[in-house]
Structure 1
Amino acid sequence: MDNSGKEAEAMALLAEAERKVKNSQSFFSGLFGGSSKIEEACEIYARAANMFKMAKNWSAAGNAFCQAAQLHLQLQSKHDAATCFVDAGNAFKKADPQEAINCLMRAIEIYTDMGRFTIAAKHHISIAEIYETELVDIEKAIAHYEQSADYYKGEESNSSANKCLLKVAGYAALLEQYQKAIDIYEQVGTNAMDSPLLKYSAKDYFFKAALCHFCIDMLNAKLAVQKYEELFPAFSDSRECKLMKVSTGCSGLPLPEPQMGVAGAPGGTIIRTCPVVLRGYLCFVFSSFLWPFESPFSR
């Protein structure tokens, strides 16, 4: 069956579901099993939605799932309603990103009302990703990553919360909200120090925090590097720390002449150490990806 045939079948199912709903509203149906007709209509709407998906008519699929969700709410079937809103959101992602967000927000409202905060957090991430890649509204993406992190923290899912917070920090740095980024990198780095599995990533977070300090001023960066060395001695031996110490002039050595270079940038890059060029390099790290794709500092 080609796409037109699938759409025709889906339209027939929609008409059947609408008849079921209309019949359930009659006086006698109210007396003799009107709710069963609503349940049947829910199933038929879902079948129609899946048929529209097969035909790649994503908007029609989303609308059919929304119809099913509304009927599930009428039956007080909250979990089924939320599932249908999520299905609707996934369909609308391919055709109408804003409507996808609206559907996912409806699902989140239901899940939070049910106390299912981990699932709600997952869908906040989905919304954040839509704002990142489709609508390119980074401020709103940040807000949803923050909400997701809050829900994960409340459920003691700290690893998932940290992933969301690191996304927030990366985008905060790009928006020149350096103090916000610093607070997050320091928090996640300090927590990583206490974990045998994560402690080696702490130096990366402290390096990113130091970069944010550097973008504020040289003294901030110098004091931050000293603090991180005291807090996490392993940071002292890292190439990232050596780069920051040279760039802030706290390595005990004079800054090289502008025509010279420093081997020690992350990844083995050799960079010029003229203060202006060096500052440009460090700030460039925050914007070294094509907007709005993922920043290396949001990982």
Structure 2
Amino acid sequence: MFLPLRRKVDRDGMKIIIFTDLDGSLLNHDDYSFEGARPSLDRLREARIPLIFVTSKTRSEVERLQDAMRIREPFIVENGGGIFFPGNYRGFSFSGECLKDGDFVVLALGVPYDRIRGVFVTMKSRFKITGYGDLSPEEVAWLTGLSTAEARRAKVREFSEPFLLESVEDLPALEGLVKQKGMKIVRGGRFYHLIGAGQDKGAAVRGVRDIYRRNDGGGHIAIGIGDSENDLPLLQTVDIPVLIPHAERGFLDVSLPGLVKARESGCRGWNEAMRRILDELFQTDRI
């Protein structure tokens, strides 16, 4: 495989950052398993290559997944709403925009949930929509296939409201309404998401790359992995974009310079694509 990188790369002393979507990418769409990705996950951990989750999931959900994968790296939640760096991460220093929040240094890019929810309630008066805030943990579990405990974590929102739309024909009018409120709608794998107008996965990825650049001199190759429409800003921001096919719908209709397409869906496709890319970048078995 030949990687037509978007910029010239010095392979001596090369640094890599990997940004990955979760649902439908690193995690299977149906059972949320990451077992098929373990070989590449182990390889990245041993090489100390940062693996940064960029997801619509919440902080609580990501913390649990990082524990399960034995990862302690920065992460981006709720479609770019917040960037979280572990405290004392690699000796990094942070700008005044970043705030200490428990064990994390946080850069909030999104709109607070109470404001998001207020706009959503207004939307409900005109459109047939159902958000996470309207559902019990049991109902979220039924819709998503999560356990009830996982659904409770998914409901602890800080920057976004996932929702179901009864009629897709209402979407243009709905988008017009939320635009007037300084917000927008993005589509994920299962739900639409109401978020702040200035927030997306790409903006958050750029924010993370800036923090790395200020702290360790930059020169990174950024790999980005996703499968859905809300991953496009992520894929457009990195040096090596990787597209995972949906198990039923196949590949998202997108054309990007240097795009790498995985050969399978879910975590097995994630693992296969990651192995190919790392093998080519390093052209050696040392990583």
TM surpasses 0.5: no
Structure number with greater CO (CA < 8 Å, separation at least 6) is: 2
Is the radius of gyration larger for structure 1 or structure 2? 1
- Output the TM-score relative to the length of structure 2: 0.22
TM-score by length of 1: 0.22
- Structure with the largest fraction of strand: 2
Greater per-residue helix proportion: 1
